[in-house]
Each structure stands twice: as C-alpha cells, then as structure tokens.
Amino acid sequence: MWNEVYVEKDIESHPRVASILSKVNKSPLLLDRYDDIWGRSKKPYLHKRDSLNLFLAQKKGQLLKLAPDAYGKSGEPHYYFIHAYNCIYECQYCYLQGYFNTPDIVLFINHEEIIGEMQKLVDENPGKTIWFHAGEFFDSLALTHLTGELEIYHAFCEKNPSVIIELRTKSVNTKHLETLKPLPNLIVSFSLSSELMGRRVDLKTPSISARLSTMKKLMDHGYALAGHFDPIIYEDQFKENYNHLLQKMNELGLTQVLHYLSLGVVRFTKDVYREVERNYPDSLLHTSVMVKSFDNKVRYQKPMRMWMMNTIKELCLTHGVKEEAIYLCMEEHA
C-alpha cells in the first residue's frame, strides 16, 4: 500500500513505531521532521491512487482544537483531537483535497500527550460534559489495525465517565474495537448516504450495506452508535433513496438506538470547491447550482438546503429516529 515510509529520528525507537513498522513490513527512511518533506511541494490529490507515502511523527503544537458551532449537538463544548492527517479513502467531496498540500498519510504516535491535554481540560471543568471527536482529519477506524491506539482512549473514557469520545468513521475495520468493553461514553458514529451516492462519490470506501452490517454487529456487541447523513447531495431520486436507506436501518433495529443523527448538506470552502471541480468534473456533485453562503462556504441555496434536510428529517421520524436525536450540522439556524 505504501510507496515509502518515513519516520522521525526522535521516535525511531518508540515501541508504537516498531509495532507499526512490523505490520507494514517496509524499511523506513529517517528524517528530522515529517514536514521537512510532507506537504513541502504540491502533490496532487489524485496521486494517492498510485503513490501514497506514510509518515510516522510526533504532533507538535496544538493537540486539541475547539470545534466550530453546530459541529455536534448544541449545549456542550466539542473538541477534536489531532492524531493523524489524511485518509486512505477517496470521497469526491472530501475537504482534505483542498486543505493539505499532499494526500500522504501522517500517523502521530504521541497519544499519551493528547490524552494529557484532554485530561487537563476535564480537570479544569469538573462535572462538565465535554465531547472529544476523532476523525476530523482522518478516518478514526480505517487504520487501527496498524496504529493500535484505541485502548488508550478507551481507558480515558473509562476513567472519565463525564466525557464523551466520538469515533467518526466509514470503515468496517472494527476487529480491534470488538476486543474492548463497550462504554456508554465511547460512541462509534458512521457517515452514511444513499447506496447510489455511496457507489458514485464515496470512492474506495466500504459499501453502505457493509457499514450497516458493521453497525448492527457493534450494536449487538453493546456499543453506543450514532450516524451522520452528511453530506447530503441532491439527485433526482434522493428522497426515495434515503427512504430506502432508513428502511434498511429500521429493519436492522438501528434507527431506534442512535444517540444522535446529524443532517448536513454538501458544502465546500472556495479552495476545496476548485479542487473538486478539477479532480471530479463529471461528478454528481455538480448537478445543482451552488452559491456562496452565510459562512462563505459554497452550498445549495438556503431554501433548497432546508427543504432537503426537512424532507430527510421527516423520513427519519417515520422510521423511528427520535426527534431529539436529530440535529443540523454546520448549518445556519432556520
């Protein structure tokens, strides 16, 4: 899978590095800092199809970032922790194609330092529910067979029952997760779309059916689950296709157990939108008019967005999703 593997010299002897290298079975190239090479020159996003490099590094600077408004359910603070950059999947709408200068993967190995920052925040806010999200810059489960960090975050959740960790994913790579005891404050959330969109724009990802089967397996195992219908993309049969998705979820008993379900319509920064147009000129993403919106992102016009989300919300309620579980993600209040 990897063209080259690079390791920072300071962590060459770290046990986590040794574990990862034993699994990729490739001799590493040593360097002082990962960003001496990573992102220094423009590497087109679609080069990930033929040439993907892996960097093992320490994350310096900011380890936690305060999430923007409407990132999660309102009323409580939300942060995401930065434990990796970039993704092995190739979703056509992915903002990473216009965010970093390269699609190469960086895995940060200093999880104890990240946990230390999270614990400090918890200690400064006794009794307060704080959310920590994994998966903002990287799918939180796709490479856990390599990274092996889930136990650390699981232990943090067990020690701090007032916090919530969300693992955001499209992956079905849950063998490692299934070895851990389910905790009520460790939530696994799956990004889902209609089967059509899963095939057409979620490239290299597990199918929607495979994701639903994995959700069912984790539900039976006792895990807390959530969902994200985000991004919702318009196509002529979008209502019928989402109804079919929700019907399958209902049949599996998933709609009733979701702790939350976010609804968000496709959106881009201006720079990402240019990359999407360049990389995927024939995509279904371009079948409807988009305009500059309230937060300077490119979206469908507001009446269309609200109609789409309200349509899907009504379908969700019909199929058993609790109304209080549904929220609009990264959207201006109606």
* Mean pLDDT along residues 265-291: 94
String of DSSP letters for 236-269: TTHHHHHHHHHHHHHHTT-TTT-S-EEEEE--B-
pLDDT in tens, 210-246: 999 999 999 999 999 999 999 999 999 999 999 999 9
The span from the first CA to the last CA of the chain, in angstroms, equals: 45
DSSP 6: E
110, 111, 232 from 123: Cα distances, Å:
20, 18, 38
* Continuous H helices in 55-180: 111-123, 144-147, 150-159
61-114 pLDDT, tens per residue? 999 999 887 677 777 899 999 999 999 999 999 999 989 999 999 999 999 999
Average pLDDT, the chain: 95
* pTM of the predicted structure, to 2 decimals: 0.95
Band of pLDDT at residue 334, cut at 50, 70 and 90: very low
> What is the distance between the alpha carbons of residues 186 and 227, in angstroms, rounded to a whole number?
14
- Long-range interactions of 79-82: CB distance < 8 A, separation 24+: 79/118, 79/121, 79/130, 79/131, 79/132, 79/133, 80/132, 80/133, 80/134, 80/135, 80/136, 81/114, 81/117, 81/118, 81/132, 81/133, 81/134, 82/108, 82/114, 82/136, 82/137
Confirm if 69 and 20 have CB atoms less than 8 A apart.
no
Rounded CA-CA distance 70/171 in Å is 24
pLDDT at 332: 67
